[in-house]
Amino acid sequence: MRHRLQSVLVYAVLAVSAVLVLYPVYYAITASFMTQAEASAYPPKMFPGGLHFDNFLQVLHLVPIGRFILNSFIVSAVIMLGQLVTASLAAYAFSFISFKGKNALFAMFLSTMMIPWEVTVIPNYLTVKSWGWLDTYEGLIVPFLATAFGTFLLRQFFLQLPAGLFEAARIDGCGHLRCFTRIVLPLSRPALATLGVYSFLTHWNMYLWPLLVTNGEKMRTVQIGISMLQFEEMTSWNLVLAGITLAMLPSLLLLAAGIKQLVRGITAGAVKG
Amino acid sequence: MSVLEKDLGNLPDAAAVQARSGRRERKAVKWKEHLLGYLFLSPSLLLFGVFLFYPLLRSVYLSVHVTDPRGRIAAFVGMDNFAELLSGDKFYLSLKVTLQFTLLTAPGCILIALILAALTHSKLRGMKTFQFIFSLPIAISVSVGSIIWMLLYHPTAGNLNYFLQLLGASPVKWLSDPTWALLSVSAVTVWMNLGFNYIVLLSGLQAVPEDIYDSAKIDGAGPLRTFTALTLPLVSPTVFFVSIVSIINAFQTFGQIHILTKGGPVNTTNVIVYNIYRDAFVNFQFGTGSAQALVLFAVILILTVLQFRLFERKVHYQ
């Protein structure tokens, strides 16, 4: 009896919290299907009268959201791939290659995690500007191609790989390059997936940097694009929210596909020092 | 090769030659290994050099100069930028706002995430769905989240005031009332950060081996006691990690302030980073902007070190 009461209580708390967490998302998605009259009705409507898909078509005409999403996709995907390459190379060196100054260099990598971006953003803006990279993909991508967090995460994973397997391969005359591409990378797929999902989501959601280095509509990322929408089209909330729904769709899908990886992988590197 | 080596080994001076060339070979291999190590690190090192270490030095350089309205270096001023910051009220005010914001967001969000993670970390039916729901805010970007809440917070047509009215309360000017603005922005932030905190804490809980709980059950400990006496100490490294990250993040908040309040009303939400943004990228005073950024860096560094000093001893590492 007491046990049952307990689980009813647990479900009640969870259900209330779930409603609170989901409500803003629910509101955005339902309102994006409403007509303008429904969306601005008072008292507010909880359900759309019908599925008005033309909101999405209209918002696509109004602002080039398709272009914004494409830009964000290119930027996040290239950064993700770049980070996977640079971080796995560096993590391999820190785990398996012996060279001079390894410990000092690793400490230096870790210390970069302490430098907050406010300190670097002004000089980086000036650098990117002086290279003529404002309003280009290079300006949006290149500063983020290396990651200390990712290197740390992968290093922790590499060090957990079975050492015996690795030694056998070395004795068989497998060089570092082969070991890296044929053994370590395939075995580390879970960790690489974790870093990939994390990196993609983080850079998909980037706000300040794209705000600073893009001016033209052509290079705008979706985060900046939709915050412009809010100022131009404040009157028709259904359209604003249709844009919002389009903008959050890709990351929601990615989360649904990658949540297992995230839950399993993120602490592996971050917590077990 | 080995046969040849043995044969050569029979001749004394040949052996010496062999040994010497072997040493040279080994030295070459070792040298090659060093080189390979640097080669593997070079992409990251190059990028860190250009976009982290150089900017750090350049910030120091900028902070002792003033810039003209177009952002170019105009004159060397020594420590004047810092002196000006530390003698005026504006900087302290934004530091105070930042501290208030941190206290309003970080502890509450961690506590909520921890409770939800503990409740959903069980074998009861439907937990996978709840896990997805509570992780969901990690996929909501700052701008998407802020705009949705901006509409919810709308003083006349927003849903929140409608709900308040249903409860019989009078409407609130969420974002334009100085007493409410920081609270409103904090609520949005707690909602947005919940996903990350929840995911990290849940995976921390999942790392605790099952059999520990079994023995607690045999000892007759109730769920609440098991949680406070057993689970909490075991996940304390994760809680510690989350609190460090949360506080650093709270100090670096920008997007929701930029979209929701622009630092107002009457500077009640003007956190330091927003102040830096205004000085540097609206007024093009890169000097004072950099000086503030460096002071902020120092504050974060001190806070992080303090956290390690004060709390890490209480963290239980297995």
Strand partners, B73: B67
pLDDT of the residue at B4: 39
Query: Among A4, A118, A212, A244, which would you mutate to test the B interface (most chain B Cβ atoms within 10 Å of its Cβ)?
Result: A118
ipTM of model: 0.85
**B109 near A233, Cβ under 8 Å?**
no
Touching check for A100 and chain B: CB below 8 Å? yes
A101: left (phi over 0), alpha (psi -120 to 50) or beta: left
Search chain B and give the residue with CA nearest A26.
Answer: B148
Residue with tokens 């409407």: B171
Search chain A and give the residue with CA nearest B144.
Answer: A244
pLDDT of the residue at B7: 40
pLDDT of the residue at B8: 39
- Scanning A37-96 for CB atoms below 8 A from B yields 40, 42-44, 85-87, 89-90, 92-94
Is B277 within 8 Å of A18 when comparing Cβ atoms? no
Touching check for B106 and chain A: CB below 8 Å? no
Average pLDDT for chain B = 85
Touching check for B3 and chain A: CB below 8 Å? no
Is A117 within 8 Å of B252 when comparing Cβ atoms? yes
Show residues of chain B in contact with A42, CB under 8 Å: 157, 162
Low-confidence ranges of chain A (pLDDT < 70): 1-2, 230-235, 264-273
Q: Rounded to two decimals, what is the model's pTM?
A: 0.84
Cα B167 versus chain centre, distance: 37
pLDDT of the residue at B1: 37
The three-point CA angle B264-B269-B274 to 5° equals 90
Is A120 within 8 Å of B159 when comparing Cβ atoms? no
Taking the C-alpha atoms of residue B249 and residue A116, their distance in angstroms, rounded to an integer, is 9
pLDDT of the residue at B208: 77
pLDDT of the residue at A57: 87
Touching check for B295 and chain A: CB below 8 Å? no
Show residues of chain A in contact with B304, CB under 8 Å: 114
pLDDT of the residue at B11: 44
Touching check for B218 and chain A: CB below 8 Å? no
Is B297 within 8 Å of A116 when comparing Cβ atoms? yes
Secondary structure of chain A in the HEC alphabet?
A: CHHHHHHHHHHHHHHHHHHHHHHHHHHHHHHCCCCHHHHCCCCCCCCCCCCCCHHHHHHHHHCCHHHHHHHHHHHHHHHHHHHHHHHHHHHHHHHHCCCCCHHHHHHHHHHHCCCCHHHHHHHHHHHHHHCCCCCCHHHHHHHHCCCHHHHHHHHHHHHHCCHHHHHHHHHCCCCHHHHHHHHHHHHCHHHHHHHHHHHHHHHHCCCHHHHHHCCCHHHCCHHHHHHHHHHHCCCCHHHHHHHHHHHHHHHHHHHHHHHHHHHHHHHHHHCCC
Q: What is the pLDDT of residues B283-310, one digit of tens each?
A: 888 899 999 999 988 888 888 888 878 8
Low-confidence ranges of chain B (pLDDT < 70): 1-25, 317-318
- Scanning A151-180 for CB atoms below 8 A from B yields 151, 176
pLDDT of the residue at A2: 66
At residue A158, the 3 state secondary structure works out as helix
